[in-house]
Structure 1
């Protein structure tokens, strides 16, 4: 489901600025959180090395800065409980769009804690430490993420631009999930595949919407009509005992 949500979000951004990394992280964070999946936005330095030329360029600094409403920096979304990460706006960086690899959704693999020098296997990592690295290879390009300090990450999340946008991010997230679930039930294989995922809240949402008609309001909200009432996804009652939604960090 993280892959499906991320690629759908990225596809909707065609023709728009690619550097909406904060928008992507917050929207996907709320979307995955609605499915009960824990996420955390993390600021990160981004360095890309071209193996063909040996050239190396810093695409985002380790310490991000706000210039008015523009962020000079980059952030990715991590899924601590799964040892995975998402970079929905990877293609903003030089050479990436030409490779047509789309957004990055991957596993963190083994991690070297720069503070202790201790190596941990990917499955045992709960949260990547400050200064920890994630590497990604696309064609001849090697992308190295170095996670910034928690203080630098907080400077992004706590900024008024982000705080004031939280209701919009959450609204966009509900619409994103609704569109994806509406698409899923039109296929023969995705419902079966998603039932095999370890996300009980997702299964409960799929049961709740069933074949309910989906419509869009003039304002762009996706609504499911259940028992004669048109509702947003987060307004649909789920059975008692269903795992709760998780707020993004």
Structure 2
């Protein structure tokens, strides 16, 4: 654990929050640069979500490419995609479970992704990646992207045998996977890959979150969307 993460300063948090929600990348960049903001800080002490996670989940972007532009900017500024929020999820955990964020996941994997960090249920990223192939019907182009992303996850030292709190792991799903998924994993394992243990130091959050005026001003639509995602579990998702 590391110290409790910092919050975006009060004088700028509302403007930054609205800019992210609207997908206004130029305005976000201006606010970050003008105020020398820590891109690993959180916007509120409700979910204690890092700015990068706010950008990933924001609904105001007109296209996925615009979202990627802001995410790439934050990552280049030093945003850490491996840092979990207070609900026990990081940007990788969210992106791997949402097909519309797969290009974002592909991007996160280029920035020192720690793929064996577990989520609130003890599942790592490769667990969700392999399970996802069984639950989704994809077009050929999307399938190719999913396979490429899975390969990148594996190359980061993914642990197929890491069990979650339900006693399940990625290898268990692999037994039911499509031939191309099995073939990809077999090629990777033939190279005697080394599993890379999780190394990210996660924030320490207060046990009881204080209710402050700032939190009450969070955008309700986004907060509800985030809660629906964070409330899920492998059991609810079919695994």
The structure that is helix-richer by fraction is 2
The structure that is strand-richer by fraction is 1
> Under TM normalisation by the shorter chain, which class is it?
under 0.3
Q: Which has the higher contact order (CA 8 A, sep 6+)?
A: 1
TM-score, structure 2 length as denominator? 0.26
